[in-house]
Structure 1
Amino acid sequence: MADDFARMAFPNESPAYRAARNALLDAEIALRRQTEAVAAMRRALPSGGEVPEDYVFERIGADFRPEQVELSELFGDHSTLLLYSYMFGPERDGPCPGCTHLLDCIDGAARHVPQRAALYAVARSPIARLAGWAHARGWNHLQLLSTAGNDYPAHYYGNTAALTPAMRAERGHADGKTWDEPMLNVFRKDGDTIRHVWASELVFAPDDPGQNHRALDFIDPVWGLLDTTPEGRGDTFFPKVDY
């Protein structure tokens, strides 16, 4: 792609502004290319490990009663399944505000993503609690599932149970303490075989100075919009469940 192209200009801008903006545009183009290169690497990953069991979740059925559903059933007509681990375990008085704001956004995306892949959010709370919260929140498209005590969160890092001693020591996590984490996992089904494809492992990577882990910023429009503003994200703002 040629990088020498006619540039835009807005009313009354200064030469200094245009020079700086053109330099930023070049950086944005480079970032776009790097983003696509990373996405291509993600798509080219070899097959991951086969899931160790057909996990049983709970959902609200057609008669508004809880019903069990196996992981293999969640794919529907698709070969790919996305599961987002929602930090809303039974020990919490309320859900994680960070997860909640992201799911506010994903509820809109859930109109469209299921045209290509199955999409659910899962949490450890009972399904009645999750369904009530989704209704109160106005989530009309995103489907929530209860892990219903299965081993999915531990196996796929929806909580910290699977952290090794070395990982705990590196991150300053106490032994024996477990809490939820906002993990996005992708699975692929081929016949009767289900394999893990990708996970947002950046959740557990060391943070850069002055930043949260930002593991799922590339699907989060709230942070993306704020990053376009002169004020940026700020040092004190974090989404809340209510304002």
Structure 2
Amino acid sequence: MTEEFPRMSFPNESSEYREARNALLDAEIALRRKTEAVAEMRRELPPGGVIPEDFVFERIGAYQRPEKVRLSELFGDFPTLLIYSYMFGPERDVPCPGCTHLLDCIDGAARHVPQRAPLCVVAASPIARLAAWAHDRGWAHLQLLSTAGNDYNAHYYGNTASLTLEMRTARGYKSDENWDEPMLNVFGKDGDTIRHFWGSELVFAPDDPGQDHRGLDVIDPVWGLLDTTPEGRGDWFPKVDYSR
């Protein structure tokens, strides 16, 4: 149903265009409301599972030296922690271009998000390799951690190790092959208890025809910008290096 409120118009537009644009605006308003309704459902989730262990990561600390840090320490003085699993394991010559373009964008957000909740990026490569890549990429605000030596990604779907046989069969994955995956997980800390709050499970949900999983679109401005264009996303996909 069309809502009654003053509508915009642009120079020399046709009545046909305005009618279609008004209908689209109504759909955009409905989507905005649905987006907030989904966010409210997320905020009202009951307590998630307690973490199985206080995972130990490696990061670059004082004097540019590697140091160990536990997941519990990453919260600082905040009750919430965000961790993004980056597809950049030691077996990859270069990291996933999809993850990389997203982190290019999130590096700017990482100036602001930690005012409300710490944001970390984890990957299985050694910390020196991650730090060198971040430097080359020009990431000034992201906090990168190495999961080398811990099972964080296996527990929280930063790789495919924990997929059930049923999930593998549904997606055509072989039982003896594993690789890293993009995954955003949010954790909450209450006293000494740390629980999983939310994970981007849409990454592993069935794709709609002609789409990929779109599991992290909510935090990805590249796809949002392209969705505003007449050409849309098309079959284009980001690259790590556009000069090649």
For residue 148 of structure 1, report the CA deviation from its aligned partner. Answer: 2.0
Give the match for residue 190 of structure 2. 190
- Secondary structure at the counterpart of residue 11 of structure 2: coil
Give the match for residue 212 of structure 1. 212
Give the match for residue 41 of structure 2. 41
Aligned residue runs from structure 1 range 172-187, under 5 A: 172-187=172-187
- Secondary structure at the counterpart of residue 25 of structure 1: helix
Give the match for residue 120 of structure 1. 120
Q: How many Å separate the matches in 2 of 1:16 and 1:149? A: 61
Aligned residue runs from structure 1 range 146-157, under 5 A: 146-157=146-157
Q: CA offsets per residue over residues 157-216 of structure 1, 9 Å max, x none? A: 000000011111111000111100000000000000000000000010000000000000
Give the match for residue 85 of structure 1. 85
Moved runs in structure 1, 4+ residues, more than 2 A?
none
Q: How many residues align?
A: 241
Give the match for residue 137 of structure 1. 137
Q: CA offsets per residue over residues 107-140 of structure 1, 9 Å max, x none? A: 0000000000010000000000000000000000
* Amino acid in the other structure paired with 1:239: P
CA contact (8 A) 1:81 1:187 kept: yes
Q: CA offsets per residue over residues 87-114 of structure 1, 9 Å max, x none? A: 0000101100000000000000000000
Q: Does 1:106 align with 2:106?
A: yes
* Amino acid in the other structure paired with 1:108: G
Q: Does 1:30 align with 2:41?
A: no
* Amino acid in the other structure paired with 2:85: S
- Secondary structure at the counterpart of residue 238 of structure 2: coil
Question: Mind listing any 5+ residue stretches in structure 1 that lack a counterpart?
Answer: none
Give the match for residue 241 of structure 1. 240
Q: How many Å separate the matches in 2 of 1:94 and 1:157? A: 21
- Secondary structure at the counterpart of residue 64 of structure 2: coil
Question: Mind listing any 5+ residue stretches in structure 2 that lack a counterpart?
Answer: none
Root-mean-square deviation over aligned CA pairs = 0.8
TM-score (norm 1): 0.98
CA contact (8 A) 1:56 1:148 kept: no
* Amino acid in the other structure paired with 1:158: G
Give the match for residue 8 of structure 1. 8
* Amino acid in the other structure paired with 1:49: G
TM-score (norm 2): 0.98
